[in-house]
Structure 1
Amino acid sequence: MSGAAMARRLFVAALMLILTATPALAQRGPLVLAAASMQEAMEAAATAYARGGRAKPVLSFAASSALARQIAAGAPADLFVSADEPWMDDVERRGLIAAGTRANVAGNRLVLIAPATSRVRLALRPGVDLSRALGGGRMAMADPDAVPAGKYGRAALERLGAWRGVESRVARAENVRAALALVERGAAPLGIVYATDASASKGVRVVGVFPATSHPPIRYPVARLKRSRDPGAEAFRRFLVGRQGQAILRRFGFTAP
């Protein structure tokens, strides 16, 4: 068995243990698998949702690619919030989402960051030379072959003609928050993350915003999973796409879906 397959099985087993280990945990709300970039906003949304006396959703964060694979492997989850449409498409093609429950819940912007103490300033336009700005360091990005933030980042760099100059110097992270952490620690002089990630950290600063036309639109779809049996799952999904949930997402810097 491959390491990836073993990891998926262990993840599913851990989720099942969390949900069934004790009666107290079993009484908690729906299990939500959400993109790592939504951590603070989703935690705030879950808290606000529970204030009305409803069971608080259980949140699990990772790269959308990893979450989609966990769902395909049988993870006992109720809702999936992806950072891009292709990974939700993959889950939908497998017949794993409940009909009529998919909706775009948020958007985002893509930015270039540096450590807070850095003096680097760059205009992100065609012909920008990022390799010079990197010096002897590397560009921190979520995996550009699989993770949404990394795929958006690669598309933007290709559009600006900068990908070839940095491709061999990319520090591939498992998700966008791991890429953020590399820049926070000074392990990478530059990184590509979402605007919401940058605003959640005091250890980095934004040195440039990628033009919206340089990459596919950043959309976060949400859907209830077909295997869900928790009645709170649909209620929380509706909360997220409703007025109160949308106001929370905007407060954390997400844009309209």
Structure 2
Amino acid sequence: MSAMKRHSVLTGLLTGTIACLTAFGYCASRSAVDGSAATPAVTITVSAAASLQDVLEALTPQFIATHPEIAAHYNFGSSGSLQRQIEQGAPVDVFFSASAEQMEALDDQGLILSTTRRDVVGNHLVAIAPLDSTLEASDLTQLKTAAIDHIAVGEFRSVPAGRYAEQVFATLNLLEPLQSKFAFGNNVRGVLSAVESGNADLGVVYATDAALSDRVKIVATAPAESHQPIRYPVAAIASSVQPEAARAFIAFLQTNVARETFTAFGFAPVPSDD
């Protein structure tokens, strides 16, 4: 992850947070709490897509400042794996997904409080290569003839970024020609890591993830019409034992300070008629 880019985005936003995420894997991180502050009376668990890790950690101090009585414990991973954990009864209060598909699956099972569901932000999909790569493909269709051995993508079934990538490749008639070159990651940060390390010649990630690294470059942007709109919905879990605190967290995500922070990290605003 880029120290320079990360610093430029986080300056004035992030103080004293704990970050951890394994490449191609899953982990949890706890919110940073000022030791001098009063002990929060309530703790909520927020299961959030891996691509939201940096921005949520940046928002943590602001959330604590406005809700000192609530501590947020974050669970980061692919939206698909987080969905399965909730279905299996994991003690989660808020689900913040990178795709509507996982949220709708939980809604169909009555596992979320539908009235709390909101689309918070959007994103864009880009193709990235190692910074020193000579690959040039301003148009994704050029990948068909490019000298590429490995293309890192998220799992098509469980990782929203992977599902969007599959849609792009299918729309551009590239899915079959490139099939043998795909290397699948368990989350979008794993895909980014594979390209950063040079283990993949190309990767497909969100624009916000690409912006955090100075070890990769964007070689092409997926046409918006080649995939479903990228939306990040959030909702409280029906089994939450802290529903009011969960609602407070969701409301905070829609405040001006939260919107400004999402924008600073490169997330796209959701159209007002959504």
- TM-score normalised by L of structure 1: 0.86
Q: Which moved more, 1:180-189 or 1:39-48?
A: 39-48
Shift of 1:142: 0.4
Shift of 1:134: 4.2
Partner of 1:200: 212
Which residue, 98, 102, 109 being the options, matches 1:94?
109
Which residue, 51, 69, 73 being the options, matches 1:58?
73
Whose helix fraction is larger, Structure 1's or Structure 2's?
1
1:33 aligns with 2:47: yes
Tell me the SS of whatever aligns to 1:57.
Answer: strand
Q: Which moved more, 1:50-59 or 1:207-216?
A: 50-59
Partner of 2:222: 210
1:156 aligns with 2:168: yes
| Sequence identity percentage | 38
| Distance in 2 separating the partners of 1:218 and 1:134 | 29
Q: Residues 73 and 133 from structure 1, CA distance in 2 versus in 1: closer, same or farther, beyond 3 angstroms?
A: same
Partner of 1:255: 268
| Distance in 1 separating the partners of 2:229 and 2:239 | 29
Unaligned runs of 5+ in 2: 1-25, 30-37
Indicate the RMSD between aligned Cα atoms, in angstroms.
Answer: 2.1
1:171-193 C-alpha deviation (Å, 9 max, x unpaired): 01101111111000000010000
CA contact (8 A) 1:115 1:186 kept: yes
1:233 aligns with 2:246: yes
Query: What amino acid is aligned across from residue 189 of structure 2 in structure 1?
Result: R
| Distance in 2 separating the partners of 1:30 and 1:248 | 21
1:63-74 aligned within 5 A = 63-74=78-89
Tell me the SS of whatever aligns to 1:167.
Answer: helix
Shift of 1:132: 3.4
Q: Which moved more, 1:137-146 or 1:60-69?
A: 137-146
Which residue, 99, 112, 117 being the options, matches 2:132?
117
Which residue, 158, 163, 186 being the options, matches 2:198?
186
Shift of 1:55: 2.6
1:5-59 C-alpha deviation (Å, 9 max, x unpaired): xxxxxx9xx99xxxxxxxx999563110000111101111222111233433111
Which residue, 188, 195, 209 being the options, matches 1:176?
188
| Distance in 1 separating the partners of 2:194 and 2:51 | 15
Q: Residues 131 and 202 from structure 1, CA distance in 2 versus in 1: closer, same or farther, beyond 3 angstroms?
A: same
Query: What amino acid is aligned across from residue 62 of structure 1 in structure 2?
Result: G
What is the number of equivalent residue pairs in this alignment? 234
Shift of 1:121: 1.8
1:72-103 C-alpha deviation (Å, 9 max, x unpaired): 00010110011110110001111011131001
| Distance in 2 separating the partners of 1:170 and 1:99 | 36
Partner of 1:130: 143
Q: Residues 99 and 129 from structure 1, CA distance in 2 versus in 1: closer, same or farther, beyond 3 angstroms?
A: closer
| Distance in 1 separating the partners of 2:79 and 2:218 | 24
1:125-180 C-alpha deviation (Å, 9 max, x unpaired): 5xx13143243x21000001331100100111111121111111100110111111
| Distance in 1 separating the partners of 2:229 and 2:147 | 27
Unaligned runs of 5+ in 1: 1-10, 16-23
